């Protein structure tokens, strides 16, 4: 619990320092906004139309495949910590788990979900 107290205090500090820098920048810098300066940057041209992005399925697929692998790896961490106390079939069970998810990777690969086209 003490360790988490230190980590919690450190997290608060690490949020505080950049915030302090930002406030310092706001105070020390001049503040003279005018419509041309605060306009959206588009390589010197006027912006046309709303700010929106073409929905490409690739972005979503990458995040989704990452999610599946993230959950898998989080399951593997307790297995890895308990590794040295496990009999051989414990190791085999972990390997089966990894092989299932390697199969998932192969499926996504073959189906072209990992292409950036």
Partner 1 sequence: MGILSQPIGVIAEWLRNLLLGWGLSQGLTTVLLYLLGGAVVAILVQTWVIFLIWYERKLIGRIQDRLGPNRVGPYGLLQPFADFIKIMTKEVIVPSGADKPLYFWGPILMDAGVLMLWAVIPLMPMVGMDLNVAALYTIAVGGFATLGILLSGWSSNNKFALVSAIRTVAQMVSYEVPTVLALLIPVLLAGTMSLHGIVEAQHVWYIVFAPLAFVIYFLASVAENGRSPFDLMEAESEIVAGFHIEYSGMVFAIFYVADFLHAFTIGALAAVLFLGGWRGPGAESFPLLGFVYLWIKAFAVYFVGVWVRGTVPRVRVDQLMNFSWKFLTPVALILLVLTAVLDHFVFGLGAWARALSHLLMNVVVAVAVLRYLEHHEKVRASRRQMVAQPGQYPVARPPRPAVAENPTEAAS
Partner 2 sequence: MTAMQIIFLLTAVVTLFSAFRVVTTPNMIHAALWLVTTLVGVAVLYVLLSASFLAVAQVVIYVGAIAILMMFVIMLTRREMRDHGPQIGKQWPWAAVLAVLFFGGVVWMVQSMSLAAAPAAEVPQTAIADLGKALVSPNGFVIPFEVASVLLLAALIGAVYVAWTRRHS
Give me the residues that bind partner 2 (CB under 8 A), please: 1, 4, 8, 50, 52-53, 55-57, 59-61, 63-68, 70-72, 74-75, 77-83, 85-86, 89-90, 93-94, 96-97, 100-101, 103-104, 107-108, 111-113
Closer CB to partner 2, 23 or 80, in the complex: 80
Q: Does 89 bind partner 1 (CB under 8 A)?
A: no
Query: What is the 3-class SS of 27-45, one letter each residue?
Result: HHCCCCCCCCCCCCCCCCC
With tokens 């073409």, the residue in question is 54
- Tokens standing for residue 109: 């690969």
With CB under 8 A as the contact rule, the residue among 100, 107, 109, 112 that binds partner 1 is: 109
Q: Helix H segments across the chain?
A: 2-28, 57-81, 88-110
For residues 101 and 71, the answer to whether their CB atoms sit within 8 Å is no
Q: Which DSSP letter does residue 87 get? A: -
> Which residues of this chain interact with partner 1, rule CB under 8 A?
2-7, 9-11, 13-15, 17-19, 21-22, 24-26, 28-33, 35, 37-43, 47, 51-53, 58-59, 62-63, 65-66, 69-70, 73-74, 76-77, 80-84, 88, 91, 94-95, 98-99, 101-102, 105, 109, 114-117
């Amino acid at each position: 619990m003490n360790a988490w107290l230190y980590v919690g205090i450190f997290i608060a500090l690490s949020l505080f320092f950049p915030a302090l820098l930002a406030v310092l920048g706001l105070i020390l810098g001049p503040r003279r906004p005018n419509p041309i300066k605060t306009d959206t940057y588009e390589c010197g041209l006027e912006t046309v139309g709303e700010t929106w992005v073409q929905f490409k399925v690739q972005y979503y697929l990458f995040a989704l495949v990452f999610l599946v692998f993230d959950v898998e790896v989080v399951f593997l961490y307790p297995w890895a910590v308990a590794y040295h106390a496990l009999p051989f079939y414990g190791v085999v069970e972990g390997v089966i788990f990894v092989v299932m998810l390697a199969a998932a990777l192969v499926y996504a690969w073959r189906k072209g979900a990992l292409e950036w086209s």
